[in-house]
């Protein structure tokens, strides 16, 4: 059986996406089970978070939903509402489901775009899905791949906390810049000294952060690699 994993972003009339347009640096993660909405909202600093909080209060009032739970952790907020917000606007989720596709939540809202990741079982379903979305959305496909003899289980998201939770901020930064700079390409596009000079740190310091990040990431991935080997 061939599966298709498709990632796309879109824009349409949606109160959550409007919130991301108003606060383009915020990252909004959205889970929905057609009874409750769960929003997890991260802001880059406390000043923007205060302004964001006012917009969130206005959003819940306009939707007429009751907030069941609200939790703050640093510059992050988790919000659970009693009613599904899909009842208040034309949602994309029913369109995805009516075309026999699986939406892998959460939906991500950032900078005025909604990001989706789905699993489809036929190319016909994919074509029909985007035909229907085009009727009321501006859609851009960002990635698509066919998984030959794939399993839905293997396409599910791995927790980013389990992968990156042990990395310090400096280690995450070192690893991210190394990837973006082409350090892991074959052949390499840059050296550790090039990247260290760009970051304004000694080469040995950068290499130490990078080695620790690589070690922690590999240790986090190891259980999934072992599970995969056991399936062959």
- Any idea of the CA torsion for 10, 13, 16, 21, to the nearest 10 degrees? 70
Q: Is the pLDDT of residue 230 over 50?
A: no
Domains of the chain: 3-150 (no CATH), 160-230 (1.10.10)
Residues contacting 117, CB < 8 A, separation 6+: 5, 6, 7, 103, 104, 157
Residue 128 pLDDT grade (very low, low, confident, very high; cuts 50, 70, 90): very high
Tokens of 145: 């791949």
Q: How far from each other are the two terminal CA atoms of the chain, in whole angstroms?
A: 16
Query: Across all residues in the chain, what is the average pLDDT?
Result: 82
Residue that has been written with the tokens 């009613």 in this structure: 83
Position 153 scores a pLDDT of: 60
Q: What is the per-residue pLDDT for 225?
A: 67
3-class DSSP string for 161-222: HHHHCCCCHHHHHHHHHHHHHCCCCCCCCCCHHHHHHHHCCCHHHHHHHHHHHHHHHHHHHH
pLDDT of 206: 95
**Position 95 pLDDT exceeds 80:** yes
pLDDT in tens, 10-53: 999 888 889 889 888 888 888 888 777 888 887 766 566 778 87
Q: Give SS3 for 9.
A: strand
pLDDT at 227 over 80: no
Measured in residues, the chain has a length of 232
Q: What is the mean pLDDT of residues 126-155?
A: 84
Q: Which residues contact 59 (CB under 8 A, 6 or more apart)?
A: 15, 16, 19
φ, ψ dihedrals at 170, nearest 5°: -65, -40
Give residue 164's pLDDT: 75
Enter the pTM of the model.
0.66
**Tell me: the pLDDT tens digits for 43-67?**
766 566 778 878 888 888 887 777 7
116 contacts 8 by C-beta, under 8 angstroms: yes
The pLDDT assigned to 31 comes to: 86
């Amino acid at each position: 059986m061939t599966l298709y994993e498709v990632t796309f972003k879109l824009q349409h009339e949606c109160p959550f996406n409007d919130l991301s347009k108003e606060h383009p640096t915020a990252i909004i993660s959205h889970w929905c089970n057609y009874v409750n909405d769960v929003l997890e909202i991260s802001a880059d600093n406390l000043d923007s978070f205060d302004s964001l909080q006012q917009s969130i209060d206005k959003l819940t009032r306009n939707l007429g939903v009751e907030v069941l739970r609200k939790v703050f952790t640093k510059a992050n907020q988790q919000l659970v509402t009693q009613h599904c917000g899909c009842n208040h606007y034309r949602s994309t989720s029913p369109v995805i489901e009516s075309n026999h596709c699986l939406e892998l939540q959460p939906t991500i809202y950032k900078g005025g775009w909604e990001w989706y990741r789905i699993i489809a079982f036929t190319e016909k379903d994919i074509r029909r899905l985007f035909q229907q979305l085009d009727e009321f959305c501006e859609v851009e496909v960002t990635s698509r791949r066919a998984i030959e003899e794939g399993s839905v289980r293997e396409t599910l998201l791995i927790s980013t906390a389990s992968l990156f939770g042990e990395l310090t901020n400096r280690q995450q930064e070192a690893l991210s810049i190394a990837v973006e700079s082409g350090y892991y390409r074959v052949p390499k596009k840059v050296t550790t000294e090039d990247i260290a000079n760009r970051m304004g740190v000694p080469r040995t310091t950068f290499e130490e952060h990078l080695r620790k990040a690589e070690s922690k990431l590999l240790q986090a991935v190891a259980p999934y690699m072992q599970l995969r080997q056991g399936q062959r």
